[in-house]
């Protein structure tokens, strides 16, 4: 019999190749009600009667509130503004009990699904009130469910003060379930109230104004090395005036007591209370032992092209400098003393600061460089982070990197949401990134779904990140989603008003963070095969489409091998005629498509009113697309493979508004180049997915002295290797294995741990290791 020839996976614990530092972390943005109605523990929705249509067309000042009139009792409720609690909190509720009896007043419905109570648990009720009648009478506070069942103890207070006064009371739940918060009185009186609040007492670590403990625990359990906040587009989308309700995220507005924080429109279509503000973010990071990584604006909004005047950049410089002082300054400094007054005299030890989130274009980079330089001069120790826009490649992406290199930033924040195919084709993306100069910070990424297969491919991609010296930080996005308020999918963690679960991708992120290690060490595998699929195909139909209005003319498609040609004089594309098919199906792999186009209506950068040239069209699920003049005047080339989307590259294109513009696309198999008015604007390489024999890495962890090995097998067959671990490691081995699931398996509220790693222990290092088909394995060798 022939001796079995196994590939040898060698690990060299004494040969470090990369310091892993704070590699794997979290990205928090308040979208999907991640903060309000999510991580932030407040249970009352619209506690300060500040909800308005500007936040969401359905909102009004009494949103989530209802009048209560029991039996013969009667009440009138009005939202007023004449004697506000403070200048930032203009609206308050006047409750007039016009006829006493069984109790009338108001109730708050909480966020979707109601206020969830757990029997036996204590809750903190608070509100600001002032009496308006000569004598205050008891106001009863209790929670009741939709069937009129009492769900809590009842407490009461008498509005005795004429000036705004805060009252704080403890309530205990007597039932488990969803309820509404009632404030009712049995006697005739008038009083006003504001900032009506209910918090569970068992917030995460019992913090006042704290976090919902089950969600916070999910984050803590991951053991992230950093947390990026507060966004996302949330950072830059909005007006540049900090006083505006629709302003960009301005961290100074989030400080002080919660009733002093102004109402804010959240760009994701709701109201942001700012109850979870910068102080709370910093404290939470400290509580879960992670590095805070805030992102600030540089006075530029890429959605509406609003720009701070270049001679008024001091405000934006101060936004950065003051933030660093707030986090790290002594209590004798202006902003350090604000931090101390809020309860944290010790510095937060801020190390990272991002300037900008996905902004593109010269207007941004001019401003970015001004802020960057000022911060670098004053705080050279802070690791500054630039941004390369929302694409993975192309002119737009390169401008971000060029600017960061010029400014000597520490990191460049790359964002992309790509298909599993793209990830499989780009597993070695970061190998070519230099170790010196700015490092990549993959600040937002996900493979566009949250099934087991997505988790597997992301795991393999993370192995690549771990091994690449040119990549320093990475975080999946988005992090949290309230299932009743979905803005964006996929997300890492789902919750409703009382349940929470992590997707299979969460399980992978958690494995990688729990077992990151401090130093990546040398590994190699002899005898490993790469299973490549090189069957690249750009043949197919050619069609134009738009969600706007364009004139298209002089369309010409030329076969670059034979000179064969298809021509079309032109057509109008508009709301009535949104698509034009120029060729149903072409077998060509090398061709040029040229045409002229002119935009017929003003461009709207926010809505991305774009022209699409779809080529290599097979069906709705499989085609390439040249998106012309999309978001923020940026064009891009994208691919759809079996319904899975990838962005291949982005570049700037002049506006064709009112002027005829010449476009040309050259496809040469995998190499695609786009020209506008004869000038090359972008080239992309359309790579095919490749599945390698095994994706593997190893690291050492200083505190435990453990050697950690990670392996991802994407093949449908098991992979057995002989382990060769250099040195004298002889301890027991803890193994976590994620295996045995179908590609489409997901976790759900009902089956929240369907996809979960299995943990087992071996007494000694095995000589051979079999990695199960389509699996992720972590070995911790003690
Ligand atoms: O993660 C969701 C959004 O995606 C972020 O707000 C933005 O930065 C990106 O486009």
Question: What does 487-550 look like in DSSP terms, one character per residue?
Answer: SSS--SEEE-SS-EEE-HHHHHHHHHHHT--SEEEEEEEET--EEE-------EEEEEEESS-E
Structure token pair of residue 357: 């989130």
Q: Does domain 540-685 have CATH number 2.60.120?
A: yes
Q: Give the whole-angstrom CA distance, residue 477 versus residue 25.
A: 10
CB 444 less than 6 A from any atom of ligand 1: yes
Is the distance from CB of 449 to CB of 490 less than 8 angstroms? yes
Please tell me what DSSP assigns to residue 496.
-
Q: Pairing mode, if any, of strands 352-355 and 291-296?
A: parallel
Ligand 1 atom at shortest distance from the alpha carbon of 390: 10
Structure token pair of residue 495: 């919750």
For ligand 1, pick from 486, 488, 630 the residue to mutate: most ligand atoms within 8 Å of CB: 488
pTM score, whole prediction:
0.95
Any idea which architecture 8-17+691-781 has in CATH? Sandwich (2.60)
Ligand 1 atom at shortest distance from the alpha carbon of 29: 6
What is residue 411's predicted lDDT score, i.e. its pLDDT?
Answer: 98
Is the distance from CB of 645 to CB of 419 less than 8 angstroms? yes
What is residue 1's predicted lDDT score, i.e. its pLDDT?
Answer: 43
Closest by CA to 44, choosing from 157, 146, 123, is 123
The answer to whether domain 21-36+204-516 and domain 540-685 are alike in fold is no
Query: What are the Cα distances from residue 595, in Å, to 308, 544, 556, 675?
Result: 37, 11, 6, 11
Domain spanning 42-200: CATH superfamily: Galactose-binding domain-like (2.60.120.260)
Structure token pair of residue 450: 């949250």
Would you call 642 a catalytic residue per the annotation?
A: no
Q: Pairing mode, if any, of strands 622-628 and 611-619?
A: antiparallel
Structure token pair of residue 671: 């190499």
How much distance in Å is there from the Cα of 636 to the middle of ligand 1? 17
Ligand 1 atom at shortest distance from the alpha carbon of 487: 2
Ligand 1 atom at shortest distance from the alpha carbon of 358: 8
Longest dimension (CA), the chain: 102
Closest by CA to 602, choosing from 639, 553, 655, is 655
Burial of 133 (0-12, 13-18, 19+ CB in 10 A): middle
Structure token pair of residue 782: 């003690």
Catalytic position from the list 358, 466, 520, 692: 358
Q: Give the whole-angstrom CA distance, residue 630 versus residue 614.
A: 14
How much distance in Å is there from the Cα of 229 to the middle of ligand 1? 12
CB 230 less than 6 A from any atom of ligand 1: no
Class of CATH domain 21-36+204-516: alpha beta
Burial of 537 (0-12, 13-18, 19+ CB in 10 A): middle
Burial of 364 (0-12, 13-18, 19+ CB in 10 A): buried
Is the distance from CB of 373 to CB of 338 less than 8 angstroms? no
For ligand 1, pick from 478, 630, 645 the residue to mutate: most ligand atoms within 8 Å of CB: 478
Q: Give the whole-angstrom CA distance, residue 548 versus residue 600.
A: 8
What is residue 531's predicted lDDT score, i.e. its pLDDT?
Answer: 65
Q: Give the whole-angstrom CA distance, residue 30 versus residue 215.
A: 14
Q: Which residue's CA is the closest to the ligand 1 atom numbered 9?
A: 232
Mean pLDDT for the chain? 95
Closest by CA to 685, choosing from 536, 510, 584, is 536
Please tell me what DSSP assigns to residue 559.
E
Is the distance from CB of 383 to CB of 375 less than 8 angstroms? no
Q: Give the whole-angstrom CA distance, residue 355 versus residue 443.
A: 13
DSSP H or E stretch at residue 151: none
How much distance in Å is there from the Cα of 455 to the middle of ligand 1? 20
Contacts of 50 (CB under 8 A, 6+ apart): 61, 89, 90, 91, 263, 271
Contacts of 621 (CB under 8 A, 6+ apart): 640, 641, 642, 643
DSSP H or E stretch at residue 240: none
DSSP H or E stretch at residue 706: strand 706-713
Alpha-carbon dihedral sign for residues 465, 470, 472, 476: negative
Q: Give the whole-angstrom CA distance, residue 466 versus residue 487.
A: 30
Is the distance from CB of 406 to CB of 379 less than 8 angstroms? no
For ligand 1, pick from 358, 359, 396, 413 the residue to mutate: most ligand atoms within 8 Å of CB: 358
Q: Give the whole-angstrom CA distance, residue 449 versus residue 418.
A: 10
Contacts of 509 (CB under 8 A, 6+ apart): 24, 222, 476, 492
How much distance in Å is there from the Cα of 237 to the middle of ligand 1? 11
Buried b (16+ CB within 10 A) or exposed e, 83-108: ebbbebbbbbbbbbbeebbebbbbbb
- Residue 223 gets the label, from left (phi > 0), alpha (psi -120 to 50) or beta, of left
Burial of 673 (0-12, 13-18, 19+ CB in 10 A): middle
CB 295 less than 6 A from any atom of ligand 1: no
Name 570's bridge partners: 553
Query: What are the Cα distances from residue 153, in Å, to 80, 120, 745?
Result: 30, 10, 43
For ligand 1, pick from 26, 233, 634 the residue to mutate: most ligand atoms within 8 Å of CB: 233
How much distance in Å is there from the Cα of 233 to the middle of ligand 1? 5
If DSSP codes are grouped into helix, strand and coil, which group holds residue 46?
coil
How much distance in Å is there from the Cα of 446 to the middle of ligand 1? 11
* The residue to which tokens 């109201």 are assigned: 271
- Domain residue limits, the chain: 8-17+691-781, 21-36+204-516, 42-200, 540-685
Residue spans of the chain under pLDDT 50:
1
Q: Give the whole-angstrom CA distance, residue 144 versus residue 722.
A: 63
Q: Give the whole-angstrom CA distance, residue 761 versus residue 735.
A: 6
């Amino acid at each position: 019999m022939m001796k079995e020839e196994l590939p040898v996976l060698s690990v060299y614990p004494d040969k470090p190749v990369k310091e892993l530092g704070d590699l794997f972390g979290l990205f928090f943005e308040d979208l999907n009600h991640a903060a309000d109605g999510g991580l932030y523990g407040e249970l009352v929705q619209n506690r300060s009667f500040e909800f308005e249509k500007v936040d969401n067309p359905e909102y009004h000042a009494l949103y989530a509130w209802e009048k209560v009139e029991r039996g013969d009792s009667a009440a009138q409720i009005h939202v007023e503004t004449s004697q506000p609690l403070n200048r930032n909190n203009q609206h308050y509720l006047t409750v007039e009990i016009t006829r006493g009896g069984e109790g009338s007043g108001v109730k708050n419905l909480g966020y979707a699904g109601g206020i969830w109570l757990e029997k036996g648990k204590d809750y903190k009720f608070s509100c600001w009130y002032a009496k308006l009648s000569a004598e205050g009478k008891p106001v009863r506070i209790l929670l009741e469910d939709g069937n009129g069942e009492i769900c809590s103890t009842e407490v009461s207070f008498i509005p005795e003060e004429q000036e705004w006064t805060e009252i704080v009371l403890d309530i205990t739940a007597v039932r488990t379930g969803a309820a509404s918060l009632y404030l009712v009185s049995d006697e005739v009186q008038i009083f006003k109230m504001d900032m009506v609040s209910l918090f569970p007492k068992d917030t995460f670590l019992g913090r006042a104004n704290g976090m919902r403990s089950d969600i916070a625990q999910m984050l803590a359990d991951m053991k992230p090395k950093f947390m990026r906040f507060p966004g996302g587009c949330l950072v830059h989308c909005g007006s540049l005036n900090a006083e505006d309700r629709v302003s960009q995220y301005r961290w100074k507005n989030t400080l002080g007591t919660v009733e002093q924080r102004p109402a804010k429109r959240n760009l994701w279509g709701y109201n942001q209370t700012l109850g979870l503000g910068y102080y709370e973010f910093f404290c939470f990071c400290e509580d879960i032992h992670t590095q805070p990584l805030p992102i600030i604006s540089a006075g530029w909004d890429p959605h509406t092209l609003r720009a701070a005047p270049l001679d008024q950049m001091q405000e934006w410089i101060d936004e950065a400098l003051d933030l660093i002082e707030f986090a790290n300054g002594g209590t004798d400094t202006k902003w350090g003393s604000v931090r101390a007054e809020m309860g944290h005299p010790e510095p937060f030890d801020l190390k990272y600061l991002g300037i900008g989130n996905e902004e593109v274009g010269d207007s941004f980079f001019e401003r970015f460089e001004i802020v960057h330089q000022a911060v670098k001069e004053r705080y050279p120790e802070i690791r500054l982070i630039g941004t390369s826009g929302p694409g993975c490649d192309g002119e737009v992406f390169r401008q971000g990197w060029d600017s960061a290199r010029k400014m000597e930033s520490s990191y460049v924040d790359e964002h992309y949401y790509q298909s599993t195919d793209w990830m499989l084709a780009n597993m070695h993306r970061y190998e070519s990134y230099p170790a010196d100069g700015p490092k990549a910070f993959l600040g937002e990424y996900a493979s566009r779904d949250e099934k087991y297969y997505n988790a597997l491919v992301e795991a393999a991609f993370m192995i690549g990140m771990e091994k690449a010296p040119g990549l320093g930080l990475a975080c999946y996005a988005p992090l949290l989603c309230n299932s009743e308020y979905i803005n964006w999918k996929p997300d890492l963690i789902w919750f409703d008003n009382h349940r929470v679960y992590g997707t299979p991708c969460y399980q992978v992120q958690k494995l990688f963070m729990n077992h990151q290690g401090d130093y990546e060490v040398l590994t190699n595998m002899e005898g490993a095969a790469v299973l490549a699929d090189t069957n690249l195909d750009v043949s197919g139909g050619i069609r134009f489409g738009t969600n706007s209005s364009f004139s298209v003319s002089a369309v010409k498609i030329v076969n670059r091998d034979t000179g064969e040609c298809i021509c079309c004089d032109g057509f109008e594309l508009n709301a009535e005629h949104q698509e034009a098919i120029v060729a149903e199906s072409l077998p060509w792999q090398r061709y040029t498509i040229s045409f002229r186009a002119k935009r017929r209506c003003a461009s709207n950068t926010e809505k991305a009113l774009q022209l699409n040239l779809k080529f290599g069209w097979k069906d709705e699920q499989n085609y390439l697309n040249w998106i012309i003049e999309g978001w923020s005047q940026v064009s891009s080339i994208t691919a759809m493979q079996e319904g899975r989307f990838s962005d291949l590259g982005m570049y700037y294109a002049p506006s064709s508004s009112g002027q005829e513009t010449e476009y040309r696309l050259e496809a040469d198999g995998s190499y695609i180049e786009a020209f506008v008015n004869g000038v090359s604007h972008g080239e992309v390489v359309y790579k095919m997915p490749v599945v390698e024999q095994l994706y593997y890495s190893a690291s050492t962890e200083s505190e435990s002295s453990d050697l950690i090995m990670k392996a991802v097998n994407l093949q449908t067959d098991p992979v057995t290797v002989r382990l060769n671990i250099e040195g004298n490691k002889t301890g027991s081995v803890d193994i976590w294995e994620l295996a045995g699931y179908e590609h489409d398996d997901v976790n759900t509220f009902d089956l929240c741990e369907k996809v979960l790693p299995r943990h087992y222990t071996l007494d000694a290092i095995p000589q051979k290791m079999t990695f199960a088909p389509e699996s992720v394995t972590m070995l911790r060798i003690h």
